[in-house]
Amino acid sequence: MARSVTTQHKTIATVAAWIVALLIFFPILYTIITSFKSEQEAIQGFSIIPSGTFESYSEVQAQSGYFKFFFNSVLLSVGSTILALLVAIPAAWSMAFSPTKRTKDILMWMLSTKMMPAVAVLFPIYLIFRDTGLLDSRIGLMVMLMLINLPIVVWMLYTYFREIPGEILEAARMDGASLWNEIVYVLTPMAVPGIASTMLLNIILAWNEAFWTIRLTTTEAAPLTAFISSFSSPQGLFWAKLSAASTLAIAPILIMGWFSQKQLVRGLTFGAVK
Amino acid sequence: MGNITLKNVSKSFGATSIIPGLDLVIENGEFVVFVGPSGCGKSTLLRLIAGLEDTSGGSINIDGRDVTGEAPAKRKLAMVFQSYALYPHMTVAKNIGFPLKMAGEDKATIDKKVGDAARVLNLTNYLERRPGQLSGGQRQRVAIGRAIVRQPTAFLFDEPLSNLDAALRGTMRLEISELHHQLKTTMIYVTHDQVEAMTMADKIVVLNAGNIEQVGSPMELYKTPRNLFVAGFIGSPKMNLIEGAPAAKNGAKTIGIRPEHLEISTTAGEWKAIVGVAEHLGSDTFLHVQADGVGPLTVRADGELGVHHGDTIYLTPDKAKLHRFGADGKAI
């Protein structure tokens, strides 16, 4: 009796989970479906069975040159992630292993910058970029994305590093390791799973970042977010092409996320329970 | 060489003084054990010598060189931690060879020295394993291997056997003592277990609240404890400490008599006592008794003694082995 009730509960929970997952995923699914429709089909109304044409994809590539934007997205997300890790690993190390009375305050302050609406600093940032010649430059945007995501990267690494027993680092010190050797040979290899999760998450965040990438680029440094946006205003009624562009933009990160979901979930929930 | 001298060394964390200021001389090749209850500052003292904590005052000299401000690695000391502190991502060979790698030794030298250390510690068959694939005793051997491979001036052990079960602790105790006889290098060993202290040390430093209560050989501490704290701490089972009339009769505030220095009789003796719990270990019998006019006492008898709960016995302390303490707690 008890077993059948448990099975029934499990079935209900599974069905409910699938419904919620489908609801969340549906906009993306419908975008993918629409991308395989002709423009005429796309404006005819709701339908989940497309004719299966690749017409929109070839037109999008022919018109805009998808690969240039794709290359920029890869460069910006990976580049900004490497920059962020270079800054965040020593920062998280010092906060985890040599904390001061103000360490918690600094961490909270860093996180609080993520709560500030981006538009509040749009003008000063835009003017700085304009005056320093960084507008539409890959380097400028890489630094910008690094700074945006730095608080999250530092927080995640800090949480990971705190899990590493201090005695191991002390043992390394006794064994003659300099600070650099301690970080390179002991801390970093031990924190590889944590660093990998942080890296993945940061790549996804940087890839999806649209506010700054759209406003600070025009052609040279524009990533896939700008690619989608370029289809939305002048060609707003061409739903199939817009969907094809969106699908092309989200596909790489969706595939990467799918293959690394285990690592990501571990990264996001690390330290929540012991 | 491995002479270590502490001069007025103190340590405070904020306003809390952990070690008020102590002097200690450790001679080359000595096996010195710091022993004391939890929180007495013994681990802190070891970490000060290692350089893992900065001193608040005083100086530390190793072989006549002032190392007070030097980084741990420059002191040429090796440390074995309670948690082993092995590098989990490295194999046993790499763990043992890590200090040599940091010292810039070439691969052939590292391989040779690692092989030698592994032979001494019976780890040859485990060199390619990772720490996670080893038992507690093997992990501790790897930690010791990592320490001996760099031929340090002195070894520091911070409660290295606390995480092992009783049987393994006994074996490792012997192995460390054996290692000391082989290497003849200065060893400083921190423990709260006075059995470890008594069995391994050339010299025991008894610490209490950051102060040295007494320094001496195990037998000196056992036979002539300087004060009540040392008297109560050294020896297992603990020394019986008696106040009141029996102490006054001996011209002291407190008298101390070890459980093995009480003569047991079923017919006559100085103190009449009722047996509470009798622990029969085969080789020894421990009796926990309530003595008239004296209070609770622990008595130890060699071999099996046919005495049980509720029996009446008579005890006579060995006068020659009676310890007398004044009102200030110091031995008279």
Give me the pLDDT at residue A1, please: 53
3-state secondary structure of B66: strand
Q: What is the mean pLDDT of residues B228-237?
A: 90
pLDDT at residue B34, rounded to an integer: 94
Tens digits of residue pLDDT in B150-200: 889 999 999 988 888 888 888 888 988 988 998 899 999 999 888 889 999
Q: Which residues of A touch B150 (CB under 8 A)?
A: 175-176
Contact assessment for residue A224 and residue A273, using Cβ atoms and an 8 Å cutoff: no
**Number of helices (H), then strands (E), in chain B:** 9, 18
CB contact under 8 A, A190 and B87: yes
Helices then strands, each counted (H, E), chain A: 15, 0
Contacts of B102 in chain A (CB under 8 A): 175-177, 181
Could you tell me the CATH superfamily of domain B242-325? Nucleic acid-binding proteins (2.40.50.140)
Cα atoms in the 13 Å half-sphere on the side-chain side of B38 = 1
- Per the CB < 8 Å rule, is A173 touching B73? yes
B4-230 and B242-325 share one CATH topology? no
Residue A266's pLDDT band, with cuts at 50, 70 and 90, is: low
pLDDT in tens, A103-139: 999 999 988 888 888 888 888 999 998 999 888 889 9
Residue of chain B whose Cα is closest to the Cα of A181? B102
Model confidence at A269: pLDDT above 60 = no
Interface contact B102-A177, CB threshold 8 A = yes
B240-266: average pLDDT: 91
Which residue intervals of B77-165 are DSSP H helices? 92-102, 107-120, 136-148
Question: Would you place residue A2 in the very low, low, confident or very high pLDDT band (cuts 50, 70, 90)?
Answer: low
Whether the CB of A189 is below 8 Å from some CB of chain B: the reply is yes
Share of chain A above pLDDT 90, in %: 28
pLDDT tens-digit series, residues A35-57? 998 888 887 878 888 887 888 88
Summary mean pLDDT of chain A: 85
Q: pLDDT tens for residues A201-211?
A: 899 899 888 88
Residue contact A174–B103, C-beta within 8 A: no
B47: nearest CA partner in chain A? A170
Judged by CB atoms closer than 8 Å, whether chains meet at B85 and A176 is answered as no
CB contact B149 to A (< 8 Å): no
With respect to residue A210, please indicate whether it lies within any of the assigned structural domains: yes
- Are residues A181 and B86, on separate chains, in Cβ contact within 8 Å? no
Omega within 30 of 0 (cis) for the link into A99: no
The pLDDT tens digits of the residues spanning B197-213 come to 999 999 999 999 888 99
CB B228 within 8 A of CB B329: yes
Residue A211 lies in a domain: yes
| B50 reaches A (C-beta below 8 A) | yes
pLDDT cut 70: percent of chain A above it: 92
* B63-92 residue pLDDT tens: 989 999 898 888 989 999 988 899 999 999
Residue A221's pLDDT band (cuts 50, 70, 90)? confident
**Considering only alpha carbons, which residue of chain A is nearest residue B98?**
A175
Rounded distance between C-alpha atoms, residue A190 and residue A139, angstroms: 31
- Spatial separation of the C-alpha atoms in residues A255 and B317, rounded to whole Å: 83
What is the β-pairing status of strands B154-158 and B77-80? parallel
Is A186 at the interface with chain B, CB within 8 A?
A: yes
Among A171, A185, A189, the residue with its CB nearest the CB of B85 is: A171
Domain boundaries, chain B: 4-230, 242-325
Q: Determine contact, residues B260/B247, Cβ cutoff 8 Å.
A: no
Interface membership of A170 toward B (CB under 8 Å): yes
- Contacting residues of A for B67, CB less than 8 Å apart: none
**Angstrom distance (rounded) from CA B156 to CA A197:** 38
Mean pLDDT of B244-265: 90
Confidence of residue A271 (pLDDT cuts 50, 70, 90): very low
CB spacing of A170 vs B85 below 8 angstroms: yes
CATH code of residue A112: 1.10.3720.10
Contacts of A176 in chain B (CB under 8 A): 73, 99, 102-103, 150
Closest chain B C-alpha to A185 CA, distance in angstroms: 9
pLDDT at B297: 93
Query: What is the nearest CA distance from A187 to chain B, expressed in angstroms?
Result: 9
- Residue numbers in A near B99 (CB within 8 A): 175-176
CA distance linking residue B25 with residue B49, whole number of Å? 12
Residues of A in contact with B85 (CB under 8 A): 165, 167-168, 170-171
Residue B287 contacts residue B313 (beta carbons within 8 Å): yes
DSSP A96-120: HHS--TTHHHHHHHHHHGGGS-GGG
Tens digits of per-residue pLDDT, A162-192? 888 888 999 999 999 988 898 889 988 888 8
Smallest CA–CA distance, residue B79 to chain A, in Å, is: 7
Q: Which of A169, A174, A186 is the mutation pick for testing B, counting most B CBs within 10 A? A: A174
* Cβ-defined contact of A167 to B81 (cutoff 8 Å): yes
* Domain count of the fold of chain A: 1
Q: Enumerate the residues of chain B whose CB falls inside 8 A of the CB of residue A181.
A: 102
Mean pLDDT computed over A66-72: 86
Q: What pLDDT was estimated at residue A274?
A: 34
Of B52, B89, B98, the CB nearest to A175: B98
Please name the residue of chain A whose CA is at the shortest distance from the CA of residue B82.
Answer: A167
Confidence bin at B93 (pLDDT 50/70/90) = very high
Closest-CA residue in chain A for B158? A167
For A177, the closest chain B residue by CA position comes to B102
What's the burial of B157, exposed, middle or buried (CB within 10 Å: 0-12/13-18/19+)?
buried
Across the interface, whether the CB atoms of A171 and B102 are under 8 A apart is answered: no
Sign of the CA dihedral A56, A62, A63, A69?
positive
Tell whether B146 lies on the interface with A, counting CB pairs under 8 A: yes
What is the predicted pLDDT for the residue at B52? 92
Q: What is the CATH number of domain B4-230?
A: 3.40.50.300
**pLDDT confidence tier of residue A58, bands split at 50, 70 and 90:** confident
Which positions in chain B touch A101 (Cβ < 8 Å)?
Answer: none
Query: Taking residues B38-48, what's their average pLDDT?
Result: 90
Is the pLDDT confidence value at B62 over 90? yes
Among B83, B89, B102, the residue with its CB nearest the CB of A175 is: B102
Question: Is ipTM over 0.90?
Answer: no
Question: Cβ separation of A174 and B52 shorter than 8 Å?
Answer: yes
Q: Does B103 touch chain A (CB under 8 A)?
A: yes
- Please indicate, yes or no, if residue A126 is contained in any of the structural domains: yes
Residue B241 confidence (pLDDT) above 70: yes
- For the whole prediction, is pTM greater than 0.95? no
pLDDT value at residue B161: 87
Distance from CA of B155 to the nearest CA of A (A): 11
Which sign, positive or negative, has the C-alpha torsion A7, A8, A13, A18?
Answer: positive
Residue-range definition of the domain harbouring residue A132: 64-269
CB–CB contact B52 A173 (8 Å): yes
A163 contact B CB<8A: no
